[in-house]
Protein backbone atom coordinates (compact mmCIF):
# COMPACT_ATOMS: atom_id res chain seq x y z
CA UNK A 1 0.00 0.00 0.00
CA UNK A 2 1.24 3.45 -0.78
CA UNK A 3 2.27 5.50 2.27
CA UNK A 4 -0.55 7.99 1.72
CA UNK A 5 -3.20 5.23 1.80
CA UNK A 6 -1.70 3.69 4.91
CA UNK A 7 -1.80 7.06 6.65
CA UNK A 8 -5.44 7.47 5.70
CA UNK A 9 -6.49 4.04 6.86
CA UNK A 10 -4.65 4.50 10.20
CA UNK A 11 -6.37 7.89 10.59
CA UNK A 12 -9.79 6.22 10.30
CA UNK A 13 -8.77 3.62 12.91
CA UNK A 14 -7.38 6.22 15.30
CA UNK A 15 -10.47 8.42 15.10
CA UNK A 16 -12.70 5.52 16.01
CA UNK A 17 -10.64 4.29 18.97
CA UNK A 18 -12.64 3.20 22.05
CA UNK A 19 -11.52 1.74 25.36
CA UNK A 20 -13.13 0.46 28.54
CA UNK A 21 -10.09 0.28 30.79
CA UNK A 22 -6.55 1.59 31.27
CA UNK A 23 -4.92 -1.59 29.88
CA UNK A 24 -6.72 -1.17 26.57
CA UNK A 25 -5.53 2.44 26.34
CA UNK A 26 -1.94 1.39 27.04
CA UNK A 27 -2.17 -1.34 24.39
CA UNK A 28 -3.28 1.31 21.89
CA UNK A 29 -0.36 3.55 22.77
CA UNK A 30 2.03 0.63 22.18
CA UNK A 31 0.29 -0.36 18.94
CA UNK A 32 0.47 3.09 17.37
CA UNK A 33 2.96 5.32 19.14
CA UNK A 34 5.68 3.21 20.82
CA UNK A 35 9.12 2.75 19.24
CA UNK A 36 7.82 -0.22 17.34
CA UNK A 37 4.36 1.25 16.84
CA UNK A 38 2.62 1.47 13.47
CA UNK A 39 2.73 5.25 13.25
CA UNK A 40 6.38 5.37 14.32
CA UNK A 41 7.13 2.83 11.58
CA UNK A 42 5.63 5.19 9.00
CA UNK A 43 8.13 7.87 9.99
CA UNK A 44 10.93 5.39 9.10
CA UNK A 45 9.29 4.70 5.79
CA UNK A 46 8.95 8.46 5.23
CA UNK A 47 12.74 8.81 4.99
CA UNK A 48 12.76 7.05 1.64
CA UNK A 49 9.89 9.09 0.13
CA UNK A 50 10.91 11.11 -2.96
CA UNK A 51 11.71 14.75 -2.19
CA UNK A 52 8.70 16.21 -4.07
CA UNK A 53 6.23 14.18 -1.94
CA UNK A 54 7.89 14.92 1.40
CA UNK A 55 6.01 18.13 2.12
CA UNK A 56 2.48 16.74 1.67
CA UNK A 57 3.16 13.38 3.29
CA UNK A 58 5.10 14.96 6.16
CA UNK A 59 2.09 17.12 7.02
CA UNK A 60 -0.32 14.17 6.83
CA UNK A 61 1.94 12.07 9.01
CA UNK A 62 2.35 14.74 11.69
CA UNK A 63 -1.40 15.27 11.73
CA UNK A 64 -1.94 11.54 12.18
CA UNK A 65 0.50 11.36 15.09
CA UNK A 66 -1.12 14.37 16.82
CA UNK A 67 -4.60 12.95 16.35
CA UNK A 68 -3.50 9.61 17.81
CA UNK A 69 -1.82 11.28 20.80
CA UNK A 70 -4.84 13.46 21.57
CA UNK A 71 -7.29 10.61 21.16
CA UNK A 72 -5.32 8.25 23.39
CA UNK A 73 -4.79 10.93 26.06
CA UNK A 74 -8.51 11.77 26.04
CA UNK A 75 -9.40 8.10 26.48
CA UNK A 76 -6.90 7.81 29.34
CA UNK A 77 -8.48 10.80 31.13
CA UNK A 78 -12.01 9.55 30.61
CA UNK A 79 -11.14 6.20 32.09
CA UNK A 80 -9.31 7.65 35.06
CA UNK A 81 -12.33 9.92 35.81
CA UNK A 82 -14.61 6.89 35.67
CA UNK A 83 -12.27 5.04 38.03
CA UNK A 84 -12.33 7.89 40.55
CA UNK A 85 -16.12 7.90 40.52
CA UNK A 86 -16.32 4.16 41.00
CA UNK A 87 -13.80 4.32 43.82
CA UNK A 88 -15.73 7.16 45.40
CA UNK A 89 -18.98 5.22 45.33
CA UNK A 90 -17.37 2.13 46.81
CA UNK A 91 -15.41 3.93 49.51
CA UNK A 92 -17.74 4.37 52.46
CA UNK A 93 -15.09 6.26 54.42
CA UNK A 94 -14.53 8.90 51.76
CA UNK A 95 -14.79 12.60 52.60
CA UNK A 96 -18.40 13.54 51.88
CA UNK A 97 -19.32 16.03 49.19
CA UNK A 98 -19.83 19.41 50.85
CA UNK A 99 -23.42 20.16 51.81
CA UNK A 100 -24.62 23.36 50.16
CA UNK A 101 -25.56 25.64 53.01
CA UNK A 102 -28.50 28.01 52.84
CA UNK A 103 -28.37 31.54 54.18
CA UNK A 104 -29.82 33.17 57.28
CA UNK A 105 -33.20 34.76 56.63
CA UNK A 106 -32.97 38.56 56.83
CA UNK A 107 -35.76 38.66 59.43
CA UNK A 108 -33.82 36.21 61.63
CA UNK A 109 -30.65 38.29 61.24
CA UNK A 110 -32.43 41.47 62.29
CA UNK A 111 -34.41 39.81 65.10
CA UNK A 112 -31.18 38.42 66.54
CA UNK A 113 -29.51 41.80 66.30
CA UNK A 114 -32.41 43.42 68.20
CA UNK A 115 -32.26 40.66 70.84
CA UNK A 116 -28.52 41.03 71.15
CA UNK A 117 -28.68 44.80 71.69
CA UNK A 118 -31.34 44.54 74.40
CA UNK A 119 -29.57 41.61 76.06
CA UNK A 120 -26.67 44.00 76.73
CA UNK A 121 -28.96 46.07 78.97
CA UNK A 122 -30.37 43.14 80.90
CA UNK A 123 -33.31 41.88 78.83
CA UNK A 124 -33.92 38.13 78.55
CA UNK A 125 -36.07 36.35 75.98
CA UNK A 126 -39.61 35.17 76.76
CA UNK A 127 -41.76 33.18 74.38
CA UNK A 128 -45.39 32.19 74.24
CA UNK A 129 -47.99 30.55 72.00
CA UNK A 130 -49.10 31.94 68.64
CA UNK A 131 -52.55 30.40 69.11
CA UNK A 132 -53.86 32.39 72.04
CA UNK A 133 -57.05 33.30 73.83
CA UNK A 134 -58.90 36.59 73.98
CA UNK A 135 -57.95 37.11 77.62
CA UNK A 136 -54.17 37.19 77.03
CA UNK A 137 -54.24 39.11 73.74
CA UNK A 138 -56.90 41.71 74.60
CA UNK A 139 -58.69 41.31 77.94
CA UNK A 140 -55.77 41.58 80.38
CA UNK A 141 -54.26 44.30 78.22
CA UNK A 142 -57.15 46.64 78.93
CA UNK A 143 -59.03 46.24 75.64
CA UNK A 144 -62.68 46.44 76.71
CA UNK A 145 -64.99 44.04 74.83
CA UNK A 146 -66.34 45.83 71.73
CA UNK A 147 -63.83 48.68 72.15
CA UNK A 148 -62.81 50.17 68.78
CA UNK A 149 -59.12 49.59 69.69
CA UNK A 150 -59.76 45.96 68.84
CA UNK A 151 -60.37 46.96 65.22
CA UNK A 152 -56.81 48.31 65.02
CA UNK A 153 -55.62 44.81 65.79
CA UNK A 154 -58.26 42.56 64.24
CA UNK A 155 -57.05 38.97 63.87
CA UNK A 156 -58.15 35.46 62.88
CA UNK A 157 -60.45 33.60 65.22
CA UNK A 158 -60.25 29.86 65.53
CA UNK A 159 -63.15 29.44 67.91
CA UNK A 160 -65.47 32.29 68.64
CA UNK A 161 -68.86 32.43 70.22
CA UNK A 162 -71.38 34.53 68.34
CA UNK A 163 -71.85 38.10 69.58
CA UNK A 164 -69.64 39.70 72.19
CA UNK A 165 -66.01 38.52 72.49
CA UNK A 166 -65.44 36.04 75.30
CA UNK A 167 -62.18 35.68 77.29
CA UNK A 168 -62.03 32.08 76.11
CA UNK A 169 -62.26 32.80 72.37
CA UNK A 170 -59.33 31.10 70.61
CA UNK A 171 -57.44 33.28 68.14
CA UNK A 172 -54.07 33.95 66.54
CA UNK A 173 -52.21 36.55 68.59
CA UNK A 174 -52.15 40.02 67.03
CA UNK A 175 -49.10 41.11 69.04
CA UNK A 176 -46.56 39.51 71.35
CA UNK A 177 -47.87 41.63 74.25
CA UNK A 178 -49.76 38.41 75.02
CA UNK A 179 -46.43 36.92 76.10
CA UNK A 180 -45.99 39.86 78.45
CA UNK A 181 -49.31 39.09 80.17
CA UNK A 182 -48.15 35.50 80.59
CA UNK A 183 -44.82 36.60 82.07
CA UNK A 184 -46.47 39.10 84.43
CA UNK A 185 -48.88 36.49 85.78
CA UNK A 186 -46.17 33.89 86.30
CA UNK A 187 -43.18 35.94 87.54
CA UNK A 188 -42.63 38.48 90.27
CA UNK A 189 -41.04 41.88 89.47
CA UNK A 190 -38.43 42.97 88.63
CA UNK A 191 -39.24 41.76 85.12
CA UNK A 192 -37.15 42.65 82.09
CA UNK A 193 -38.14 40.59 79.06
CA UNK A 194 -38.03 40.74 75.31
CA UNK A 195 -40.80 38.93 73.43
CA UNK A 196 -39.95 38.10 69.82
CA UNK A 197 -42.33 36.18 67.60
CA UNK A 198 -44.79 35.91 64.75
CA UNK A 199 -48.09 37.74 64.95
CA UNK A 200 -51.22 37.81 62.80
CA UNK A 201 -53.58 40.53 61.61
CA UNK A 202 -56.69 40.50 59.50
CA UNK A 203 -55.18 42.62 56.72
CA UNK A 204 -55.34 42.40 52.93
CA UNK A 205 -51.93 41.32 51.61
CA UNK A 206 -50.02 44.00 49.70
CA UNK A 207 -46.45 45.30 49.35
CA UNK A 208 -46.93 47.20 52.64
CA UNK A 209 -49.16 44.90 54.74
CA UNK A 210 -49.42 41.19 55.38
CA UNK A 211 -51.66 38.90 57.38
CA UNK A 212 -48.66 37.88 59.43
CA UNK A 213 -45.45 39.59 60.44
CA UNK A 214 -42.88 39.52 63.23
CA UNK A 215 -42.50 41.60 66.33
CA UNK A 216 -40.09 42.16 69.15
CA UNK A 217 -41.76 43.65 72.20
CA UNK A 218 -40.08 44.61 75.45
CA UNK A 219 -41.34 44.95 79.03
CA UNK A 220 -39.60 46.30 82.11
CA UNK A 221 -41.34 46.34 85.50
CA UNK A 222 -39.70 47.39 88.74
CA UNK A 223 -40.00 50.00 91.49
CA UNK A 224 -39.73 53.60 90.21
CA UNK A 225 -39.49 52.83 86.49
CA UNK A 226 -40.06 56.13 84.68
CA UNK A 227 -40.68 57.41 81.18
CA UNK A 228 -37.09 58.70 81.21
CA UNK A 229 -35.88 55.08 81.59
CA UNK A 230 -37.98 54.10 78.59
CA UNK A 231 -36.58 56.94 76.51
CA UNK A 232 -33.01 56.13 77.47
CA UNK A 233 -33.37 52.42 76.61
CA UNK A 234 -34.91 53.23 73.22
CA UNK A 235 -32.26 55.83 72.42
CA UNK A 236 -29.56 53.28 73.26
CA UNK A 237 -31.23 50.70 71.01
CA UNK A 238 -31.63 53.14 68.11
CA UNK A 239 -28.00 54.25 68.17
CA UNK A 240 -26.76 50.66 68.37
CA UNK A 241 -29.05 49.53 65.57
CA UNK A 242 -28.84 52.47 63.15
CA UNK A 243 -25.60 54.22 64.07
CA UNK A 244 -24.36 56.64 66.77
CA UNK A 245 -25.64 59.75 64.98
CA UNK A 246 -29.27 58.51 65.15
CA UNK A 247 -31.79 60.77 66.91
CA UNK A 248 -35.19 59.76 68.25
CA UNK A 249 -38.45 61.61 68.83
CA UNK A 250 -41.51 60.49 70.75
CA UNK A 251 -44.98 61.53 69.61
CA UNK A 252 -48.07 61.08 71.82
CA UNK A 253 -50.23 58.15 70.76
CA UNK A 254 -52.79 55.71 72.07
CA UNK A 255 -52.62 52.06 73.09
CA UNK A 256 -55.10 50.53 75.55
CA UNK A 257 -52.30 48.93 77.58
CA UNK A 258 -49.99 51.93 78.07
CA UNK A 259 -50.57 55.37 79.59
CA UNK A 260 -49.05 57.65 78.48
CA UNK A 261 -48.40 56.09 75.08
CA UNK A 262 -46.07 57.23 72.34
CA UNK A 263 -44.92 56.42 68.87
CA UNK A 264 -41.21 56.62 68.28
CA UNK A 265 -39.51 57.95 65.14
CA UNK A 266 -35.83 57.80 64.34
CA UNK A 267 -34.02 60.36 62.21
CA UNK A 268 -34.18 58.95 58.67
CA UNK A 269 -31.13 56.73 58.28
CA UNK A 270 -31.21 57.15 54.51
CA UNK A 271 -30.94 60.95 54.22
CA UNK A 272 -29.64 61.56 57.75
CA UNK A 273 -32.67 63.70 58.58
CA UNK A 274 -32.54 66.24 55.76
CA UNK A 275 -35.61 64.79 54.01
CA UNK A 276 -35.87 62.27 51.17
CA UNK A 277 -38.50 60.20 49.38
CA UNK A 278 -38.16 57.37 51.93
CA UNK A 279 -39.11 59.63 54.87
CA UNK A 280 -41.50 61.61 52.64
CA UNK A 281 -39.42 64.72 53.13
CA UNK A 282 -39.94 64.78 56.93
CA UNK A 283 -36.49 63.52 57.99
CA UNK A 284 -38.16 61.05 60.41
CA UNK A 285 -39.37 57.44 60.14
CA UNK A 286 -41.66 55.72 62.60
CA UNK A 287 -40.31 52.49 64.06
CA UNK A 288 -42.20 51.51 67.19
CA UNK A 289 -44.96 52.03 69.73
CA UNK A 290 -44.27 52.37 73.46
CA UNK A 291 -45.47 53.73 76.78
CA UNK A 292 -45.79 53.25 80.51
CA UNK A 293 -47.70 50.08 81.37
CA UNK A 294 -51.27 51.04 82.30
CA UNK A 295 -51.96 50.37 86.03
CA UNK A 296 -55.08 48.42 84.94
CA UNK A 297 -52.79 45.97 83.11
CA UNK A 298 -50.52 45.54 86.13
CA UNK A 299 -53.53 44.89 88.38
CA UNK A 300 -55.11 42.47 85.88
CA UNK A 301 -51.85 40.51 86.00
CA UNK A 302 -51.67 40.51 89.79
CA UNK A 303 -48.97 43.19 90.19
CA UNK A 304 -49.50 45.98 92.72
CA UNK A 305 -49.58 49.16 90.64
CA UNK A 306 -48.88 51.32 93.72
CA UNK A 307 -45.60 49.56 94.32
CA UNK A 308 -44.49 48.90 90.77
CA UNK A 309 -44.42 50.71 87.46
CA UNK A 310 -43.10 49.68 84.09
CA UNK A 311 -42.60 50.49 80.47
CA UNK A 312 -43.32 48.51 77.31
CA UNK A 313 -42.48 48.88 73.67
CA UNK A 314 -43.13 46.93 70.48
CA UNK A 315 -41.62 47.00 67.03
CA UNK A 316 -42.13 45.17 63.73
CA UNK A 317 -39.07 43.22 62.60
CA UNK A 318 -40.06 43.67 58.92
CA UNK A 319 -40.10 47.44 59.39
CA UNK A 320 -36.61 47.49 60.96
CA UNK A 321 -35.35 45.15 58.21
CA UNK A 322 -36.77 47.48 55.54
CA UNK A 323 -34.90 50.36 57.09
CA UNK A 324 -31.64 48.41 57.29
CA UNK A 325 -31.76 46.66 53.93
CA UNK A 326 -34.32 48.66 51.87
CA UNK A 327 -36.65 45.79 51.02
CA UNK A 328 -39.48 47.47 49.10
CA UNK A 329 -42.04 44.66 49.11
CA UNK A 330 -43.01 42.93 52.35
CA UNK A 331 -44.14 39.81 50.48
CA UNK A 332 -40.52 39.00 49.53
CA UNK A 333 -39.89 37.96 53.13
CA UNK A 334 -42.23 34.99 52.92
CA UNK A 335 -41.88 33.88 49.29
CA UNK A 336 -38.69 31.88 49.92
CA UNK A 337 -37.16 32.97 46.61
CA UNK A 338 -33.50 31.97 46.85
CA UNK A 339 -32.50 34.85 44.59
CA UNK A 340 -33.79 37.22 47.27
CA UNK A 341 -32.41 35.24 50.21
CA UNK A 342 -28.94 34.82 48.68
CA UNK A 343 -28.46 38.58 48.80
CA UNK A 344 -28.10 38.31 52.58
CA UNK A 345 -25.30 35.73 52.37
CA UNK A 346 -22.61 38.06 53.66
CA UNK A 347 -24.76 39.86 56.26
N1 LIG B 1 -48.52 45.85 70.94
C2 LIG B 1 -48.42 47.04 70.15
C3 LIG B 1 -48.73 46.67 68.69
O4 LIG B 1 -48.71 45.55 68.32
C5 LIG B 1 -47.05 47.66 70.22
C6 LIG B 1 -46.76 48.22 71.58
C7 LIG B 1 -46.19 47.44 72.55
C8 LIG B 1 -47.12 49.53 71.88
C9 LIG B 1 -45.93 47.93 73.80
C10 LIG B 1 -46.87 50.03 73.14
C11 LIG B 1 -46.27 49.25 74.08
O12 LIG B 1 -49.02 47.55 67.93
pLDDT in 10s for each residue of the chain, 347 residues: 688 899 999 999 999 999 999 999 999 999 999 999 999 999 988 888 898 989 999 999 999 999 999 999 999 999 999 888 888 788 888 888 888 888 899 999 999 999 999 999 999 999 999 999 999 999 999 999 888 888 889 999 998 877 777 888 999 999 999 999 999 999 999 999 999 999 999 999 998 899 999 999 999 999 999 999 999 999 999 999 999 999 999 999 999 999 999 999 999 988 888 998 888 999 999 999 999 999 999 999 999 999 999 999 999 999 999 988 988 889 999 998 999 999 998 87
What number of helices (H) and strands (E) belong to the chain?
12, 10
| E strands present in the chain | 124-125, 131-133, 157-159, 170-172, 191-200, 212-222, 248-255, 258-267, 284-293, 309-316
- The alpha carbon of 289 and the centre of ligand 1 are apart by a number of angstroms equal to 5
- The alpha carbon of 159 and the centre of ligand 1 are apart by a number of angstroms equal to 24
Q: How far apart are CA 180 and CA 158, in angstroms?
A: 22
Q: How far apart are CA 139 and CA 166, in angstroms?
A: 9
Q: Which residues, 6 or more positions from 319, have their beta carbon under 8 angstroms from its beta carbon?
A: 287
Is 175 touching ligand 1 by the criterion CB < 6 Å?
yes
Alpha-carbon dihedral sign for residues 259, 230, 109, 120 = negative
Reduced to 3 states (helix: H, G, I; strand: E, B; else coil), residue 89 is: helix
Which atom in ligand 1 lies closest to the alpha carbon of residue 315?
5
- The alpha carbon of 201 and the centre of ligand 1 are apart by a number of angstroms equal to 13
Reduced to 3 states (helix: H, G, I; strand: E, B; else coil), residue 84 is: helix
Q: Which of 293, 315, 113 is closest to 220 using CA atoms? A: 293
Q: Which residues, 6 or more positions from 316, have their beta carbon under 8 angstroms from its beta carbon?
A: 213, 214, 215, 288
Which residue, by CA, sits nearest to atom 4 of ligand 1?
A: 175
Alpha-carbon dihedral sign for residues 302, 150, 135, 193 = negative
Amino acid sequence: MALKDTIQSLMTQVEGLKATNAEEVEAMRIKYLSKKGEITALFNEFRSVPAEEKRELGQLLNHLRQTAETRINDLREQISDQMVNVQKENDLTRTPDPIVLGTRHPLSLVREEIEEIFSRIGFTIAQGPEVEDDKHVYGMLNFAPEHPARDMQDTFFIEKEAGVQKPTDVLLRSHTSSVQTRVMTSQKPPIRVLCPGRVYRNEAISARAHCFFHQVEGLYIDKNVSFADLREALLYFSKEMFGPETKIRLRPSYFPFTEPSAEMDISCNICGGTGCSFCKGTGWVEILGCGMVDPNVLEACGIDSKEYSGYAFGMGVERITNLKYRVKDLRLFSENDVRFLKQFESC
